[in-house]
Structure 1
Amino acid sequence: MPIKPISSRDNSLYKELKLLAASSQARRKEGRTLLDGVHLCESYLLQVGKPLLCIVGETAMRNDEVATILRRCDDLSAQTILLPDHLFNALSQVENGIDILFLIETPQLAQPPCLSRSAVLLDRVQDPGNFGSIVRSAAAAGIEQVFCSAGTTFAWSPKVMRAGMGAHFLLAIYEHVDLADLLERTDIPVVATSSHAQQRIYDLDLTQPVAWLFGHEGQGVADGLLECATHRVTIPHLGAIESLNVAASAAVCFFEQVRQRMTHYPP
């Protein structure tokens, strides 16, 4: 499929892309978002397939990695548009990156009736970097589902996806979930971290599926949800720091479960 050049900022398609790039509300309303950079585009092609649209800047056309992506898009009959660098830069939030974007649809998934395998539940986690780091660690630990309460940052924002480094495409992510209702319909243990808990994460049996519950960066898990937890655990540390960042806490928890399961069920 031939590459279509766009040179005017008044082009209707360019205006649509610029709105999506700038507005989380527009991304939510349209059910579409932008993937920024070579790594995310490569991951999408590998894990999902054909994007709605490929957008590339003029200078990036000389990049070998971009050329490979463009050939794959052509094989998939995905439309590609070419922008002058100054128009592309108005769409991208990455400084000194390689100028390639994908326009994709954000998945709209039917929520499962209950939890039967290890999952992550996020209660009002608001920092995009934290969210992206959590889903990246979850995917690396073999967890496949993430459930987000209202008030949690938009899972498919460009900043979250850059922090996730392609993990989104390995996970089923559900947004605007009533976590209390979901927890009432699950039989697997629910584990929440708390700096005030007495039980250590390392003393808990994690060889079976669990629902990991993490909360707001400053306020933690809401009290009503915390009461639903089967276990409240702490992560012991030696330094004079009150608690860990939520993304760091999640990584410790996920990989303690990996360690226990690999010890209990050696490959």
Structure 2
Amino acid sequence: MTLKTISSRDNPLYKELKHLATSSQARRKAGRTLLDGVHLCEAYLQQVGMPPLCIVSETALLNSEVTVILQECGNSETQSIVLPDALFHALSQVEHGIDILFVIDTPEQMEPQRLVQSAVLLDKVQDPGNFGSIVRSAAAAGIKQVFCSPGTTFAWSPKVLRAGMGAHFLIEIFENVDLEALIKRADIPVIATSSYAKKRIYDLDLTQPVAWLFGHEGQGVAEHLLALSTHQATIPHLGAIESLNVAASSAVCFFEQVRQQTSK
């Protein structure tokens, strides 16, 4: 196992890593992103394979979990780099974590022509925590596709990846999708959540594949997309709260679908 040590902030590779860590534009341009922490790195190894680059801090070399990952990377073409703790922590957004990062290539997915299997459609969902939680719940519910409109937060940002807890590697994510055109091509019902709808999600037949449409945290689903949906449905609640957080709403919807599909 060969480890390269970088000790200077002026090192060209370190400067590149700093851009990836701090700039969404740099991540999009490079087609790469950072996985931060042992859990995400282990999930990537298990579900995808070896990363192009593994970075650890000097302190993390003493950690047994990091040692195992480094050994796996050492048996492949992955480049492994050690940084002084101070340089590493300038790249990581995780406090009090185990100091390991993977640099990975962000997948380029070919958008399918039609909606034929259960999916999630996100209209300008902007909070990284919400996005990651939705992807995590979708993957747990067996949903394999997520389609994101322009204006939705970048699916592969470090914050979204941490909230997704490895779910990104189990699901196809399509960005900058024309949701209006996609809905018009759907071969399955499209269900939009709305706090103003009369129909409850519990009144719908969810034993078949459906596409769930969720909107911006404050404005909800755009009116022109609501008009195209097959059903508009609400999640009933008893407390004096106007609406649920979009990530919580999505989880309720996905697992009502799971309940109906498994109840027989």
> What TM-score comes out, normalization by structure 2 length?
0.99
- Output the CA distance in 1 between the equivalents of 2:114 and 2:76: 36
- The secondary structure found in structure 2 opposite 1:55 is strand
- The secondary structure found in structure 2 opposite 1:60 is helix
Structure 2, unaligned stretches of length 5 or more?
A: none
- Output the CA distance in 2 between the equivalents of 1:184 and 1:199: 22
TM-superposition CA deviations, 1:175-200 (whole Å, max 9, x none): 00000001111110000111101111
Q: Which amino acid aligns with 1:118?
A: S
- Output the CA distance in 2 between the equivalents of 1:248 and 1:76: 40
Q: Please report how far the alpha carbon of residue 68 of structure 1 lies from its aligned counterpart in structure 2 after TM superposition.
A: 1.1
Which of 74-83 and 38-47 deviates more? 74-83
- Output the CA distance in 2 between the equivalents of 1:260 and 1:148: 26
> What TM-score comes out, normalization by structure 1 length?
0.98
TM-superposition CA deviations, 1:57-105 (whole Å, max 9, x none): 0101111111111111112231100000000000001111110000000
Q: Paired residue for 1:58?
A: 58
Q: Paired residue for 2:9?
A: 9
Q: Paired residue for 1:209?
A: 209
Q: Which amino acid aligns with 1:237?
A: H
Q: Which amino acid aligns with 2:19?
A: L
1:1-267 alignment to 2 at 5 Å? 1-264=1-264
- The secondary structure found in structure 2 opposite 1:54 is strand
Q: Which amino acid aligns with 1:90?
A: A
- Output the CA distance in 1 between the equivalents of 2:199 and 2:75: 54
Q: Please report how far the alpha carbon of residue 206 of structure 1 lies from its aligned counterpart in structure 2 after TM superposition.
A: 0.1
- Output the CA distance in 2 between the equivalents of 1:205 and 1:80: 51
Question: For this pair of structures, how many residues does the alignment match?
Answer: 264
- Output the CA distance in 1 between the equivalents of 2:147 and 2:3: 39
- Output the CA distance in 1 between the equivalents of 2:199 and 2:72: 51
Q: CA RMSD in A?
A: 0.6
The percent of aligned pairs where both chains have the same amino acid is 74
- The secondary structure found in structure 1 opposite 2:173 is strand
- Output the CA distance in 2 between the equivalents of 1:226 and 1:58: 53
Which of 67-76 and 111-120 deviates more? 67-76
TM-superposition CA deviations, 1:10-48 (whole Å, max 9, x none): 100000000110000000011000000000000000000
- Output the CA distance in 2 between the equivalents of 1:8 and 1:104: 23
- Output the CA distance in 2 between the equivalents of 1:213 and 1:123: 7
- The secondary structure found in structure 2 opposite 1:97 is coil
Q: Please report how far the alpha carbon of residue 50 of structure 1 lies from its aligned counterpart in structure 2 after TM superposition.
A: 0.8
